[in-house]
Amino acid sequence: DVKVTQSSRYLVKRTGEKVFLECVQDMDHENMFWYRQDPGLGLRLIYFSYDVKMKEKGDIPEGYSVSREKKERFSLILESASTNQTSMYLCASSSHRAGTRGEQFFGPGTRLTVL
Amino acid sequence: DAKTTQPTSMDCAEGRAANLPCNHSTISGNEYVYWYRQIHSQGPQYIIHGLKNNETNEMASLIITEDRKSSTLILPHATLRDTAVYYCTHKDRNNFNKFYFGSGTKLNVKP
């Protein structure tokens, strides 16, 4: 069974803290993604990566950075957490290799609360 | 941007077919339409995808109009476990790996 795991289901942090959200996939996928999900706004893409050490900004990258040192791991970093970053964070991975369907596989999500 | 339009919510009686519409007028010729669903407290899950022909798998059927500007996801016999948010999306024309997800349709299956 394919799997995307996220380090925490629930996280509570204080304003100004540095926050690390970790995502690991076991499918040897090239592509990994970070989204945030807020009521009424759907899923919004923060950053994605199509290879180790490669990253591209999504639609809402401000206040976030990412790291992809190994193919299976993609980290989202909040350098200085703020209350407006309270949200559900979803990680996903996909492959664009020939013969694949190209769909994204999602992790269970991390609900982050910044106080 | 690759945008889609879906109704905010729909109701369906258990055992009946659920037909979920989606408009994707900005879709380009080589982009596939994908459908996902998200059950409460879980990440979205792939359902089905297609290019221009109708598709069917064990979960659902996908009907794409001839001009490809809209599609309908059909759950032939909805169950209570099909209550979820359904997202229609297609791959961005400039980056084939990116999806744009809208707000989706909340399907309520009622007994």
Per run of 10 residues, the mean pLDDT along chain A (length 115 residues) is 88 97 95 93 92 92 97 97 97 85 91 97
Smallest CA–CA distance, residue A11 to chain B, in Å, is: 15
Model pLDDT, residue B2:
57
In the block, residue with structure tokens 């349709």: B105
Q: What is the pLDDT of residues B25-40, one digit of tens each?
A: 888 888 889 999 999 8
Q: What is the 3-state secondary structure (H, E, C) of chain A?
A: CCCEEECCCEEEECCCCCEEEEEEECCCCCEEEEEEEECCCEEEEEEEECCCCCCEECCCCCCCEEEEEECCEEEEEECCCCHHHCEEEEEEEECCCCCCCCCCEECCCEEEEEC
- CA end-to-end distance (rounded Å), chain B: 39
Three-state DSSP state, B109: strand
pLDDT in tens, B56-108: 999 999 999 999 999 999 999 999 999 999 999 988 645 656 788 888 999 99
B105 → chain A, closest CA residue: A42
Q: Which residue of B has its CA nearest to A40?
A: B103
Please tell me which of the candidates B46, B101, B103 has its beta carbon nearest to residue A103: B46
CB–CB contact B97 A35 (8 Å)? no
For residue B55, give how far its alpha carbon lies from the nearest alpha carbon of chain A (Å): 13
